[in-house]
């Protein structure tokens, strides 16, 4: 039997594969274009996508454990529910589902609500799953390279409340650990839920101080204009996605997304170490950028 990783070529999926590659488990990567997929040695590319019902049924043959990352798409919920149902019908004994931190509370953010609806289906169907709720990815801020280096500005509207940003490497590590735990179990295991968060409440003051220290130059915050953010995003993304991102950042500004001590401790126990900090991420990125 094998582990199938859906969303295998994305930011999180590549980290999951990286953490699985020396596990000794048989690992397969679901991808629309197996001939183009750049995968770790030993990982088998399997043609398919969540929107292709028959293809997904074929991909799940002889699979015992599934990592499910549904794409941020207009039909995200449909794809997730269909994939969960097919996994159930295929006899998959373990699922690790990637949701989002604050999925319950942010009902007006489309992709948050989609993920929480999938969580409800997992619970009501009694599926043997681990739900992972990661916070905003630190690596999203790699896109801040140009404004940081050229204008001395951190341009995302993150507000004053704070966000417990998480490193995607920690997400991949956590997902791989839960996939292997379920894969190696002799029978389906009870449901689990982990909120994957970083140790820092990253707000406008924190983030500018972190980048000022890392880049050794003054950095200021560009403000919390979410309308301007939506306009910028529409230059490179569909309007529905730009609006979704606007709604998410609006909730971050309005309410924040700061974790309590309990999920940080629980995540640390899962990883066997503390989660990575935003300051360390900023230092690492600054070092990489200045070498280029």
| pLDDT per position as a tens digit, 109-159 | 999 999 999 999 999 999 999 999 999 999 999 999 999 999 999 999 999
| pLDDT per position as a tens digit, 252-279 | 999 999 999 999 999 999 999 999 999 9
Residue 154 pairs in a beta bridge with: 221
Are 227 and 242 a contacting pair, CB within 8 Å?
no
Please name which of 164, 106, 165, 140 lies closest in space to residue 229, comparing C-alpha atoms. Answer: 140
Q: For residues 133, 135, 139 and 141, what is the CA-based torsion angle, rounded to 10 degrees?
A: 160
| Contacts by 32-41, CB closer than 8 A, 24 or more apart | 37/8, 37/9, 38/9, 39/8
Rounded Cα distance between 282 and 276, Å, is 11
Question: CATH assignment of 2-135+167-196?
Answer: 3.40.50.720
* Alpha-carbon 198 to chain mean position: 13
pTM higher than 0.95: yes
Please name which of 156, 114, 167, 203 lies closest in space to residue 284, comparing C-alpha atoms. Answer: 167
Please name which of 243, 204, 205, 239 lies closest in space to residue 224, comparing C-alpha atoms. Answer: 204
**Three-state secondary structure string covering 187-234:** CCCCCEEEEECCCCCECHHHHHHHHHHHHCCCCEECCCCHHHHHHHHC
Residue 62 Rama label (left phi>0; alpha psi -120 to 50; beta): left
Are 155 and 143 a contacting pair, CB within 8 Å?
no
Domain boundaries, the chain: 2-135+167-196
Are 65 and 177 a contacting pair, CB within 8 Å?
no
> What is the full per-residue pLDDT of the chain (292 aa) written as tens digits?
899 999 998 999 999 999 999 899 999 999 999 988 889 999 999 999 999 999 999 999 999 999 999 999 999 999 999 999 999 999 999 999 999 999 999 999 999 999 999 999 999 999 999 999 999 999 999 999 999 999 999 999 999 999 999 999 999 999 999 999 999 999 999 999 999 999 999 999 999 999 999 999 999 999 999 999 999 999 999 999 999 999 999 999 999 999 999 999 999 999 999 999 999 999 999 999 988 6
Are 266 and 194 a contacting pair, CB within 8 Å?
yes
At 218, phi and psi to the nearest 5?
-65, 135
How big is the CA angle at 75 (ends 72 and 81), to the nearest 5 degrees? Answer: 95
- In angstroms, the Cα distances linking 143 to 53, 140, 154 are 34, 6, 10
Rounded Cα distance between 120 and 128, Å, is 13
Question: In 234-277, which residue ranges form alpha helices assigned H by DSSP?
Answer: 239-255, 261-271
């Amino acid at each position: 039997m094998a582990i199938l990783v859906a969303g295998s070529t994305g930011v999180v999926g590549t980290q999951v594969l990286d953490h699985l590659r020396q596990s000794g488990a048989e690992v397969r990567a679901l991808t629309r274009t197996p001939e183009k997929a750049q995968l770790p040695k030993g990982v088998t590319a399997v043609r398919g996508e969540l929107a292709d019902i028959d293809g997904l049924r074929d991909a799940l043959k002889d699979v015992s454990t599934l990592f499910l990352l549904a794409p941020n798409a207009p039909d995200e919920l449909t794809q997730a529910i269909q994939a969960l149902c097919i996994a159930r019908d295929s006899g998959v004994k373990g699922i690790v589902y990637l949701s989002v931190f604050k999925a319950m509370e942010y009902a007006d953010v489309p992709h948050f609500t989609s993920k929480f609806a999938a969580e409800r289906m997992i619970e009501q169907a009694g599926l043997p799953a681990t739900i992972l709720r990661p916070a905003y990815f630190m690596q999203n801020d790699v896109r801040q390279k140009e404004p940081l280096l050229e204008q001395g500005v951190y341009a995302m509207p993150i507000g004053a409340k704070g966000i417990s940003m998480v490193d995607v490497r920690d997400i991949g590590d956590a997902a791989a650990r839960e996939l292997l735990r379920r894969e190696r179990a002799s029978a389906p295991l009870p449901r689990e839920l982990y909120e994957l968060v970083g140790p820092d409440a990253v707000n406008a003051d924190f983030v500018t101080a972190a980048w000022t220290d890392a880049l050794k130059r003054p950095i200021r915050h560009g403000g919390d204009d979410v309308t301007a953010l939506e306009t910028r995003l529409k230059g490179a993304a569909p309007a529905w996605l730009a609006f979704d991102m606007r709604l998410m950042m609006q909730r971050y500004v309005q309410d924040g997304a700061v974790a309590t001590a309990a999920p940080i401790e629980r995540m640390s126990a899962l990883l066997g170490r503390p989660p990575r900090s935003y300051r360390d991420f900023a230092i690492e990125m600054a070092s990489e950028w200045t070498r280029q």
